[in-house]
Amino acid sequence: MNAGQRMAAEREFDNALAIFPNYHLAFAGKARARLAAGDADAAIEFYQRAWERVPLPETATALGDLYTKLGRAEEAKKQYDLVEFIERTGAVAGTYSRQLALFYADHDVKLDEALAIALRERAARADIYTSDTLAWCLYKKGDLAGAKRTIDEALRLGTRDARLHYHAGMIEQALGNRRDAAKHLQLALKINPSFDILQADVARQTLRAIAV
């Protein structure tokens, strides 16, 4: 899925479910594959089955985003509320802190808290995905210089990850670097055109705006 090979991915998710029925991660993967194929109803069903097995914040976020995309705002809000609930009441506090910071930044809510979480996580570890989260939060807060410096850290290993390049593209666009922005956004969509339910649409819209 992360390489944009939806049909091959779906076969492997089906194999996983044949070997390990009711595996929550395979259900969530199957949901992503069905959504990439344009089958939103099946995607909702598989996300719900994943949630029933193991309630994870990324599943609640995905369901909320899918409901948002479909214009079902009330159902989306219920899912978004669950994202915070899981983080606040989990057996191990802070288990999903990075995901919560990304959730806030993606949805333009509680940006001060998102940045505080990302800074705390970045102080504890310097892996590329923590750097990416911090860069995205800095971007959303308007610190473009800090966002650029930190997204460069996230890209330092040359990792082919659609979300990393999407974030890089949006930061470059905000800095007025249209060529670099287009390069990163095109690569994000080439790697995986369905990398995120809502953010992939933003990437396409931004690319169209750059081309005007």
Amino acid 211: pLDDT: 79
Amino acid 94: pLDDT: 52
User: Residue 89 pLDDT > 80, yes or no?
Assistant: no
The DSSP H or E segment spanning 199 is helix 199-211
pLDDT tens-digit profile of 141-181? Answer: 999 999 999 999 999 999 999 999 999 999 999 999 999 99
pLDDT tens-digit profile of 105-137? Answer: 999 999 999 999 999 999 998 899 999 999 999
pLDDT tens-digit profile of 174-210? Answer: 999 999 999 999 999 999 999 999 999 999 999 999 9
Query: What is the DSSP track for 112-150?
Result: HHHHHHHHHHHHH---HHHHHHHHHHHHHTT-HHHHHHH
Amino acid 126: pLDDT: 86
Q: Which of 82, 35, 45 is nearest to 60 (CA)?
A: 82
